[in-house]
Amino acid sequence: MLSDAANFQLHTHLSTLAGIHKIYHTLHRLPAAPEPCLLGKRGNPLLEMTCQLRRVARTVFLENMRHHKSERRRPSPVKDVWSGSTNTQVVMLVLAWKLDAQSMGYFTLQEWLNGMGSLQCDSTERLRNSLDYLRSVLNNTTNFKLIYRYAFDFAREKDQRSLDLNTAKCMLGLLLGKTWSLFPVFNQFLEQSKYKVINKDQWCNVLEFSRTINLDLSNYDEDGAWPVLLDEFVEWYKEKEML
């Protein structure tokens, strides 16, 4: 069971993910009617996008304020953040990758503008229309690997070299939960293990393991260059199957 300090850290860290999650829903709530700040300024894509960005930022800020005011009810942090569909969360991760966002939970204005330029989105409507494209980016094996590697640095605390275990489990579930049949078992292994953090080498090898090792682990080479974490998982899983 997590300590109060660990629970607080997890809640704080995952709450930043909620900020990104809310941007998706905010975009779909934006009305088609012009913003007051756009009156008389149509035809200037930069001004239009800036005004829409301000609306998104204002709405997310107000929603976060309401969230913190209800903190005394102590809702489940994991349930709060991950209550939306996995597809929504994946799209927002891909968007963050496209923006080359450096910190989880918010986009800087420069990241936003650069990213919208690369996506050729000069309006909220075009960004809405690009969501299916962003989702499809993961279908490319090379892109998926790049996004998977990006997710590690994106989600970790910037003063830490490793990813705390709770955040790692959430991100692994997001990226591999629907495609790797052994993920539920691997997640169970992590929960009962001695590990408190996942380093980048372990993180990258989990993806390679999920892509190359058979579901019955029959082609796993214990003398291979796998990290100890995966050696221990294979040993734990085989013992579990023998019970």
Q: What are phi and psi of 158, to 5 degrees?
A: -70, -15
Which CATH code is given to the segment(s) 142-242? Answer: 1.10.238.200
How much is the pLDDT for 146? 97
How much is the pLDDT for 75? 34
Do you know the residue count of the chain?
A: 243
How much is the pLDDT for 142? 96
Domain boundaries, the chain: 4-137, 142-242
How much is the pLDDT for 201? 97
Whole-angstrom CA distances from 117 to 103, 123, 168 are 20, 11, 31
pLDDT in tens, the chain (243 residues): 444 544 444 444 444 444 444 454 444 444 444 444 444 444 455 455 555 555 554 544 444 445 444 443 333 333 333 334 566 778 888 989 999 998 877 778 888 888 888 888 877 788 888 888 998 999 999 999 999 999 999 999 888 999 999 999 999 999 999 999 999 999 999 999 999 999 999 999 999 999 999 999 999 998 889 999 999 999 999 998 876
How much is the pLDDT for 189? 98
End-to-end CA distance of the chain: 25
At CA 183, angle to CA 221 and CA 171, rounded to 5?
115
How much is the pLDDT for 123? 76
How much is the pLDDT for 17? 43
d(CA 59, CA 16): 15
How much is the pLDDT for 35? 43
